Amino acid sequence: MAIVAAVIGFLLLQGAAAWKTKITSDITVRMNDVVSFPFVISNEVPTQSKLVLVPSADSDVAKLSLYVLVQNETSFNGVLNITGVFLGTTKLTFTLMENEDKIYNEDVAVITVIRKERAIDNAFTISVAVLVSILYINFGCAMDWNVCRNTLKRPIGPAIGFFCQFVIMPLLSFVIGYILFPGRPELQIGMFFTGVSPSGGASNIWTVLLEGNLNLSVTMTTLCTIAAFGMMPLWIFTLGRYIFERGNLTVPYHQIGTFVVGLVIPLAIGFLIQKKLPRVSKILIRIMKPFSVILILFIIVFAIVTNLYLFKLFSLEIVIAGMGLPWLGFLFGLIVAKLCRQPQADIRAIAIETGIQNTGVSIFLLRFTLKPPTSDLTTVVPVSSAIMTPIPLMILYIVKLIYQYRQRIKEKRISNFASSNKIQTVEGSMRSNVSRLIENTE
């Protein structure tokens, strides 16, 4: 009996394995569009049983509706209508049911839902590319090689900043992404690209507002900007490759190389302007800080306005990631600078420089190097980071203003009290002198 049961089971398995599906293996649908795909499921072994075909996919990404045109003992011929719901990818699974038993279950295709192409998206990408190029021309004009040389003669501060920026932050972003998004490699990539970006131009502004060492901040920004041309590809092609492989994504070597060269060119143009056209260079340097702020605000606001879908992706994990990377960056920068016994102003500059990433560069890099919908899904992480980064700095600045205001009030009271005592002392002295004068007269 055991042998007979084994033979029957083997034959059933053979029959189940004989089912084959013909359908487009990679299906791309735009959001809110409906696309029809013909399919055929066939079996060489005829079956007398009544079978039911059940297609399935992630309903948050795509909705399915099935029309079976012809069904006989050996095949199903039909059309599958797929509606794009939201950005992402999902597996299309076909299941054949006999009564309540599955006799065939297979992932037959991958459905990718992307956004519709819009003129405003191209305008956003082009405008960001132009603005980032102009900013890097300004960086080239603003590089004070004498200050860099003097700082590099005793490069303790820049060395600490470099270590925090290009060792701690990439590793921190990798760990945060791995913990918060274990099954979402595209979000891990967004987190990692944010972590390997250089420090942002806003770091110099916050250093001034919080009374840090501006010269050190500018030097670190300059050195990190230059070092980013080598360090970003290094991290992306080493540790970043692990994330790409886990997500079955191709590392965009060509695009990243083009991106790096594309930033070196405006930097070199800025350096030439500094040497050949010093007056123009001074004008560009003067507008660099406000232009940096405008660029950051433009990228964030434009990215939000043109991609309101990003807020659908905001979750507790996204918010925590947006807070975690910059806030922990501030903390680690402060701790490392403290351990190295740096002056208080240098500690502030290093901590601020470590925590503030150039999210404009990371957003542009993600948009330029990755294909949709991955490029869209990954953008939510640097946008979240850009929104969350200024919060602790703004709180510290407000606390500082309140403290300075109270100190001024206190000093004013002390000054008034001292003036009052002085007046009373003078009045007492005058009374005493008058009394003596009267006594002498008598």
295 within 8 A of 136, measured Cβ to Cβ: no
The domain in which residue 362 lies consists of: 119-394
382 within a domain of the structure (yes/no) = yes
402 within a domain of the structure (yes/no) = no
Q: Is 346 exposed, middle or buried (0-12, 13-18, 19+ CB in 10 A)?
A: buried
0.75 surpassed by pTM: no
Q: Are 252 and 265 part of one and the same domain?
A: yes
Q: Is the pLDDT of residue 327 over 90?
A: yes
**Which CATH number belongs to the domain containing residue 272 in this structure?**
1.20.1530.20
Using DSSP's 3-state secondary structure scheme, residue 354 falls into helix
- Mean pLDDT value across the chain: 79
Q: Are 93 and 151 part of one and the same domain?
A: no
What's the rounded mean pLDDT across residues 119-141?
77
Q: Are 180 and 277 part of one and the same domain?
A: yes
Q: Are 57 and 123 part of one and the same domain?
A: no
Q: Are 285 and 174 part of one and the same domain?
A: yes
- Give the model confidence (pLDDT) of 203-232 as tens digits: 877 887 788 887 788 778 777 877 887 888
5 within a domain of the structure (yes/no) = no
**Which CATH number belongs to the domain containing residue 43 in this structure?**
2.60.40.10
- Give the model confidence (pLDDT) of 381-392 as tens digits: 988 898 888 889
Last residue within a domain, chosen from 54, 82, 114: 114
Q: Are 108 and 157 part of one and the same domain?
A: no
Overall domain count for the chain: 2
Q: Are 313 and 251 part of one and the same domain?
A: yes
Specify whether the backbone of 63 is left (phi greater than 0), alpha (psi in -120 to 50) or beta. Answer: beta
What's the rounded mean pLDDT across residues 57-65?
88
Last residue within a domain, chosen from 355, 378, 394: 394
Cα radius of gyration rounded to whole Å, the chain: 33
Cis peptide before 158 (omega within 30 of 0): no
Q: Are 164 and 128 part of one and the same domain?
A: yes
pLDDT-derived band at 124 (thresholds 50, 70, 90) equals confident
71-85, 292-306, 413-427: segment of lowest average pLDDT: 413-427
Q: Which long-range CB contacts under 8 A does 302-309 form with residues at least 24 apart?
A: 302/124, 302/127, 302/128, 303/124, 303/363, 303/379, 303/383, 304/383, 306/118, 306/120, 306/121, 306/124, 307/376, 307/379, 309/86, 309/87, 309/115, 309/376
428 within a domain of the structure (yes/no) = no
pLDDT-derived band at 3 (thresholds 50, 70, 90) equals very low
Q: Are 275 and 293 part of one and the same domain?
A: yes
321 within 8 A of 180, measured Cβ to Cβ: yes
Helix (H) or strand (E) holding 193: helix 185-196
Q: Are 250 and 380 part of one and the same domain?
A: yes
Q: Are 140 and 99 part of one and the same domain?
A: no
